[in-house]
Chains A and B, each alone.
Chain A
Amino acid sequence: MSQPVLGAPLDRVEGPGKVTGRIAYTADNDIPGMVHAVVVESTIANGRIAAIDESAARSAPGVIAIMTPRNAPRVDARKVDANDSLLFLLQGDAVEFDRQPVAVAIAETFEQATYAARLVRVRYDVRPPTTALASGERFLPDQIFGKPAQHKRGMPEDAFARAAVTLKQTYRTPTEHHNPMETHATIAQWTGDRLTIYDATQWVFGVQHRLAATFGIDPKAIRVVAPFVGGAFGCKGQTWSHVPLAAMAARLAGRPVKLVVTRPQMFGWVGHRPQTEQVVGLGAARDGTLAAVTHDVLSETSMSDEFVEPSVVFSRDLYAVPNYAMSDTLSRLNISKPTYQRGPGESTGSFAMESAMDELSYALGIDPLELRLRNYSANDPDSGKPYSSKRLRECYAAAAAQFGWSARNPKVRSTSRGRMLVGSGMATASRATHRSPCTVRMRMNADGNVLVQCGTIEQGTGTPTVYPQLAAEILEIPPERVRFEFGNTDLPAAPIAAGSQTSGSVGSAVVVAARRMRELLVSHDGKPPADGFEVELEDSPPPEEAEHATQAFGAHFAEVEVDPDLGTVRVTRFVGAFDGGRILNAKTARSQMLGGIVWGISMALFEDTRYDARSGRIMNANLSEYLVPTNADIPDVEVILIAGDDPFANPAGAKGIGEVGICGSAAAVANAVYHATGIRIRDLPITPDKLIR
């Protein structure tokens, strides 16, 4: 009976439903009596609402109500914890960023609501906004995830001053917006004082908790359903303003309300990756061993909240560096609150650190890969803890061999193909794995079929495929006999599906429950009783897990062609090898890596949210002017999974694989561009104008 199930590249059970359109995402649901809400956003980035004239909107066809600060239900818009943020729920007249919600049009159809929203006339008292990182009020945040905003190990100043070779450079990454395929959407229905919410979210319990606080009601009176989520990448991690606004509109209208965030509104109040300015200092011996690293990051935050892009994590936790200093400074701007975006911290931090390492390799005349190997760390350099597992050396070796790195001419501008300059570059990938408590319920019926229930969500990562696979392996049954139920608050509590923690958290709970179920089965001679078995348990990381540092690793190798006259860059080859611990499904894991690499290429060459410095308005809030790669921009990407057990990470043995692929990939492209051209671009994206200077 037992064939290798775990890690097998099983097709997604949800795949056919997705590609044929049978699966319903939030906005695909309709509730009897439902009406539609459309958010009116501010067109200024700083000031006050002087007056709202909604008369034309109110008399437009199909309009039920126009919700403005004047008639909006009174709710509590304040944040509920440090990770949360102030919401913009029409409770006052202040405007602090472009595209802040200022009113909501509610009508019988989406088209009527859209038209009415357009007729709402808002007059503002405008104040000059600040959207340039350099101009905001600067401050050190009190803490970053419980750690201080400045941190040191060893004697970084002394070591830097004494180092044989030093380098200090400033790297910049722009504001980037998530734009998953599915935009945000919420359906809200009140039944008396009970609230039902359909929402495109990474965390149904987070929505429940936040709405309970906003409306001052018991969380148990709120049911949240996230049917299928069409990509999130961090922007659906927190409850943004439109979710309570939908519930407020439903209350005002006395009808269920559907509120869909439009594509241009995806550049509004639903989060983005903040722009950063990072100063990296490296001090090294002539043989390349690092004596000191400094990493000082300035990143943006909004007027009323603090979000820190933890770029320093990458430089802090990777190489064997005895002397290290970091600082995180925030700049307050008239922008919406930034948030986590795939690989928060490491994605931006790796661009700076891995570009700096590349610069050092040329300064010393040491091969970039060799330089990394000379600074390889057996333990987490900051905490001194051993890694739960680390196969980064194997990643370097496998990717380098596949890429043909050893055949590379190390000289810059040394290789061409016709008119094109050819270059190759590499970078290390690294991303911390987290784990949180998670509850699952597992039922085995008399016929031996198994139902696993857990209130996590499916956002394209393969949840309904991978967890049955994991349970089936332990129970020694075919995965088709295990069904996974997810996506609502009636189910056992799961943590937020973010931070590369879902495999570790949900997966571990599934493993522990399946092992218990298996014991039960053994004690019943392998046959469940007529009423079946049920196991429900909360699995939490035990204290001994903290004795190890758990991190996913990888190595990126990129080849580019650059047109020396026209400045155009095309990535022609990309190889990545990754250490994600135990791989639960080779197919879905590979997809995660592919997606991460594609996004890294996008970060290197395309993405850049542009603010008008005078008005603070985003000038490219659409997918025509906010560039993401087309198929023609992406070469064949080769992904190598260096799979292996990780006995210390968690019971699933899995490290987070959702984000490591984007960490370092942009730097690999930038380093390849330097190798091709001799031009070092330190501010992303790398566009033709920067290369033809």
Chain B
Amino acid sequence: MNPFRYERAQSGAAAIAAAQHDGDARFVAGGTNILDLMKIHVEAPSLLVDINRLPLSKIELRGDSVHIGALARLNDVAAHPVVRQAFPMVAIALEQSASPQLRNMASMGGNLLQRTRCAYFRDVAAPCNKRAPGSGCGAIGGENRMEAILGTSERCIATHASDVAVPLVALDAVVNVAGPQGSRSIVLSDFYRLPGATPHLETVLVHGELITGLSVPVLPFGARSTYLKVRDRAQYEFALGSAAVALDIEGGTIRQARLALGGVGTVPWRPRAAEHDLTGAPATRTAFEGAAEAALTGARGYGMNDFKIALAKRTLVRALEMVAA
């Protein structure tokens, strides 16, 4: 690890100011990702601003949104009755993330900002456009079994690793941010950037901006939802493919659907065309399969990850069946 300075922020404003003054500063919440990346030299901040003292851990229903503080720990969010009741798919996604120990440390804000698990990104001896812009993409033509099939570019095919971001993107969650220029709110699907020619730019945040929390609009049919995660081992592993599904069904007809895919996109993937196709459709396997085809439109394999196209479709169909049942 490189030598770095450490500061414990006593207020949001102080945290933002501290970060703003140092272009190489990073916030640290649970530290489960940033410290890991520092140890393998992928990140080398000059200053760590510890935000854990800030009062940003609340989880509560405010009006028609569930507000989740940026420092709420994954396990606390997963166990919260309001979350479990309003959107089970969020609780399930969290329960299937990482390990219990990690979930006790990891924060919601940190989870949304965790970096990709791409092996080339994590190996400073390898080329990687995301870590070292212009150095090339090691994953294309390399070990890319875990990489993305949706939203990729010729510069980067790295999968977004977060589980909980998948149901959150389906729920139109809003990220609340405070920064040097004041506060703003960003819908999660606008928060992440596709890699395109600039894979090192992953979100629309500017330096010094602090996530204060999330507002998740209560979806009237959110209780009828699930998150299905497919992985190589039963626990403690990132997704090969995952699907978040919420359905509003009446008399066998789908009135509305919310869908999102994980483990397959460079960003948490919201297949709006598939949602549209399901609206008004019968809740049948044929309709689900049609929606899965639509959801994977434009998907592209890179060799070792070709199987993810079929797997993602089957995962989505299975999740739809589970919710419809």
Residues of A near any B CB (own CB < 8 A)? 43, 111, 114-115, 118, 565-568, 570, 605-606, 610, 612-615, 617, 619-620, 624-625, 627, 629-633, 687-689, 692-693
Is the pair A612, B3 in contact by a Cβ cutoff of 8 Å? no
Point out the residues of chain A lying under 8 angstroms from B141, CB to CB.
614
Is the pair A692, B235 in contact by a Cβ cutoff of 8 Å? no
Q: CB-nearest residue of chain B relative to A611?
A: B143
Q: How far is the CA of A83 from the CA of B119 in the complex (A)?
A: 34
Instruction: Indicate whether B117 reaches chain A with its CB closer than 8 angstroms.
Output: yes
Q: What are 19 A-B residue pairs whose CB atoms fall within 8 Å in the complex?
A: A115-B1, A118-B2, A566-B311, A566-B314, A568-B231, A606-B232, A612-B143, A613-B142, A617-B125, A619-B119, A619-B123, A619-B142, A627-B233, A627-B237, A630-B233, A630-B234, A689-B240, A689-B307, A692-B310
Is the pair B143, A610 in contact by a Cβ cutoff of 8 Å? yes
Point out the residues of chain A lying under 8 angstroms from B120, CB to CB.
619
Q: CB-nearest residue of chain B relative to A625?
A: B119
Is the pair B119, A620 in contact by a Cβ cutoff of 8 Å? yes
Known: A627-B233, A632-B234. 7 other contacts (CB 8 A): A568-B230, A606-B232, A619-B120, A619-B143, A627-B237, A629-B233, A633-B233
Is the pair A688, B311 in contact by a Cβ cutoff of 8 Å? yes
The verdict on A612 contacting B234 (CB below 8 Å), with A566-B311, A566-B314, A692-B310 known, is no
Instruction: Indicate whether B315 reaches chain A with its CB closer than 8 angstroms.
Output: yes
Instruction: Indicate whether B126 reaches chain A with its CB closer than 8 angstroms.
Output: yes
Q: How far is the CA of A613 from the CA of B171 in the complex (A)?
A: 41
Point out the residues of chain B lying under 8 angstroms from A43, CB to CB.
125
The verdict on A627 contacting B232 (CB below 8 Å), with A612-B142, A612-B143, A615-B126 known, is yes
Is the pair B318, A565 in contact by a Cβ cutoff of 8 Å? yes
Is the pair A633, B235 in contact by a Cβ cutoff of 8 Å? yes
Q: How far is the CA of A43 from the CA of B123 in the complex (A)?
A: 10
Out of A627, A630, A631, A693, name the residue touching B307 (CB < 8 Å).
Answer: A693
Q: CB-nearest residue of chain B relative to A628?
A: B233
Q: How far is the CA of A617 from the CA of B128 in the complex (A)?
A: 15
Q: CB-nearest residue of chain A relative to B234?
A: A632
Is the pair B311, A689 in contact by a Cβ cutoff of 8 Å? yes
Q: CB-nearest residue of chain A relative to B143?
A: A619
Which residues of chain B from 223 to 255 have any CB-CB distance to chain A below 8 Å in the complex?
230-237, 240
Min distance, Cβ A459 to any Cβ of chain B, angstroms = 26
Instruction: Indicate whether B262 reaches chain A with its CB closer than 8 angstroms.
Output: no
Q: How far is the CA of A566 from the CA of B314 in the complex (A)?
A: 7
Q: How far is the CA of A43 from the CA of B3 in the complex (A)?
A: 23
Q: CB-nearest residue of chain B relative to A60?
A: B3
Is the pair A617, B230 in contact by a Cβ cutoff of 8 Å? no
Out of B119, B240, B318, name the residue touching A688 (CB < 8 Å).
Answer: B240
Is the pair B232, A688 in contact by a Cβ cutoff of 8 Å? yes
Point out the residues of chain B lying under 8 angstroms from A620, CB to CB.
119, 143
Is the pair A118, B233 in contact by a Cβ cutoff of 8 Å? no
Is the pair B311, A567 in contact by a Cβ cutoff of 8 Å? yes
Q: CB-nearest residue of chain A relative to B308?
A: A689
Q: CB-nearest residue of chain A relative to B120?
A: A619
Out of A111, A114, A632, A687, name the residue touching B232 (CB < 8 Å).
Answer: A687
Is the pair B3, A115 in contact by a Cβ cutoff of 8 Å? yes
Point out the residues of chain A lying under 8 angstroms from B184, CB to CB.
none
Point out the residues of chain A lying under 8 angstroms from B235, CB to CB.
630-633
Is the pair B1, A114 in contact by a Cβ cutoff of 8 Å? yes
Q: How far is the CA of A619 from the CA of B126 in the complex (A)?
A: 10
Min distance, Cβ A190 to any Cβ of chain B, angstroms = 30
Which residues of chain B from 69 to 90 have any CB-CB distance to chain A below 8 Å in the complex?
none
Which residues of chain B from 132 to 149 have any CB-CB distance to chain A below 8 Å in the complex?
138, 141-143, 145
Out of A610, A612, A631, A693, name the residue touching B138 (CB < 8 Å).
Answer: A612
Point out the residues of chain B lying under 8 angstroms from A606, CB to CB.
232-233
Point out the residues of chain A lying under 8 angstroms from B126, CB to CB.
612, 615, 617, 619
Q: How far is the CA of A211 from the CA of B317 in the complex (A)?
A: 62
Point out the residues of chain A lying under 8 angstroms from B310, CB to CB.
692
Point out the residues of chain A lying under 8 angstroms from B143, CB to CB.
610, 612, 619-620
Min distance, Cβ B155 to any Cβ of chain A, angstroms = 18
Point out the residues of chain B lying under 8 angstroms from A625, CB to CB.
117, 119
Which residues of chain B from 19 to 46 have any CB-CB distance to chain A below 8 Å in the complex?
41
Q: How far is the CA of A617 from the CA of B124 in the complex (A)?
A: 12
Q: How far is the CA of A606 from the CA of B232 in the complex (A)?
A: 7
Point out the residues of chain B lying under 8 angstroms from A567, CB to CB.
230, 311
Point out the residues of chain A lying under 8 angstroms from B1, CB to CB.
111, 114-115
Is the pair A566, B315 in contact by a Cβ cutoff of 8 Å? yes
Q: Count of chain B residues with Cβ under 8 Å from any Cβ of A?
A: 31
Point out the residues of chain B lying under 8 angstroms from A114, CB to CB.
1
Min distance, Cβ A279 to any Cβ of chain B, angstroms = 25
Q: How far is the CA of A567 from the CA of B308 in the complex (A)?
A: 11
Q: How far is the CA of A46 from the CA of B180 in the complex (A)?
A: 49
Is the pair B138, A566 in contact by a Cβ cutoff of 8 Å? no
Closest 10 CB pairs of A and B: A43-B125, A632-B234, A689-B307, A619-B119, A632-B235, A630-B235, A619-B143, A565-B314, A633-B234, A566-B230
The residue in B230, B234, B318 that gathers the most chain A C-beta atoms within 10 A of its C-beta is: B234
Q: How far is the CA of A591 from the CA of B63 in the complex (A)?
A: 57
Q: How far is the CA of A568 from the CA of B3 in the complex (A)?
A: 44
Point out the residues of chain A lying under 8 angstroms from B231, CB to CB.
568
Min distance, Cβ A245 to any Cβ of chain B, angstroms = 21
Point out the residues of chain B lying under 8 angstroms from A627, CB to CB.
232-233, 237
Q: How far is the CA of A567 from the CA of B310 in the complex (A)?
A: 11
Is the pair A692, B119 in contact by a Cβ cutoff of 8 Å? no
Q: CB-nearest residue of chain B relative to A693?
A: B307
Out of B41, B142, B236, B314, name the residue touching A614 (CB < 8 Å).
Answer: B142
Q: How far is the CA of A606 from the CA of B235 in the complex (A)?
A: 12
Is the pair A692, B123 in contact by a Cβ cutoff of 8 Å? no
Point out the residues of chain A lying under 8 angstroms from B317, CB to CB.
565
The residue in B120, B125, B138, B231 that gathers the most chain A C-beta atoms within 10 A of its C-beta is: B125
Is the pair B234, A617 in contact by a Cβ cutoff of 8 Å? no
Q: How far is the CA of A565 from the CA of B289 in the complex (A)?
A: 13
Q: How far is the CA of A114 from the CA of B240 in the complex (A)?
A: 34
Q: How far is the CA of A54 from the CA of B3 in the complex (A)?
A: 18
Min distance, Cβ A14 to any Cβ of chain B, angstroms = 27
Q: How far is the CA of A617 from the CA of B143 in the complex (A)?
A: 10
Q: How far is the CA of A235 from the CA of B75 in the complex (A)?
A: 38
Q: CB-nearest residue of chain B relative to A119?
A: B2
Q: How far is the CA of A481 from the CA of B50 in the complex (A)?
A: 56
Is the pair B142, A689 in contact by a Cβ cutoff of 8 Å? no
Min distance, Cβ B319 to any Cβ of chain A, angstroms = 11
Min distance, Cβ A574 to any Cβ of chain B, angstroms = 15
Is the pair A688, B233 in contact by a Cβ cutoff of 8 Å? no
Q: CB-nearest residue of chain B relative to A571?
A: B234
Is the pair A118, B232 in contact by a Cβ cutoff of 8 Å? no
Point out the residues of chain B lying under 8 angstroms from A610, CB to CB.
119, 143
Min distance, Cβ B295 to any Cβ of chain A, angstroms = 16
Q: How far is the CA of A118 from the CA of B42 in the complex (A)?
A: 12
Min distance, Cβ B312 to any Cβ of chain A, angstroms = 11
Point out the residues of chain A lying under 8 angstroms from B307, CB to CB.
688-689, 692-693
Q: CB-nearest residue of chain A relative to B304?
A: A689
Which residues of chain B from 266 to 325 have any CB-CB distance to chain A below 8 Å in the complex?
307, 310-311, 314-315, 317-318
Q: How far is the CA of A402 from the CA of B62 in the complex (A)?
A: 57
Min distance, Cβ A91 to any Cβ of chain B, angstroms = 23
Q: How far is the CA of A617 from the CA of B125 in the complex (A)?
A: 9
The residue in B2, B142, B231 that gathers the most chain A C-beta atoms within 10 A of its C-beta is: B142
Point out the residues of chain B lying under 8 angstroms from A568, CB to CB.
230-231
Q: How far is the CA of A26 from the CA of B81 in the complex (A)?
A: 48
Q: CB-nearest residue of chain A relative to B238?
A: A624
Q: How far is the CA of A118 from the CA of B124 in the complex (A)?
A: 11
Point out the residues of chain A lying under 8 angstroms from B117, CB to CB.
624-625
Point out the residues of chain A lying under 8 angstroms from B237, CB to CB.
627
Min distance, Cβ B232 to any Cβ of chain A, angstroms = 6
Q: How far is the CA of A570 from the CA of B232 in the complex (A)?
A: 10
Q: How far is the CA of A688 from the CA of B314 in the complex (A)?
A: 12
Q: How far is the CA of A26 from the CA of B71 in the complex (A)?
A: 40
Q: How far is the CA of A620 from the CA of B304 in the complex (A)?
A: 15
Min distance, Cβ A393 to any Cβ of chain B, angstroms = 35
Min distance, Cβ B141 to any Cβ of chain A, angstroms = 7
Point out the residues of chain B lying under 8 angstroms from A566, CB to CB.
230, 311, 314-315, 318
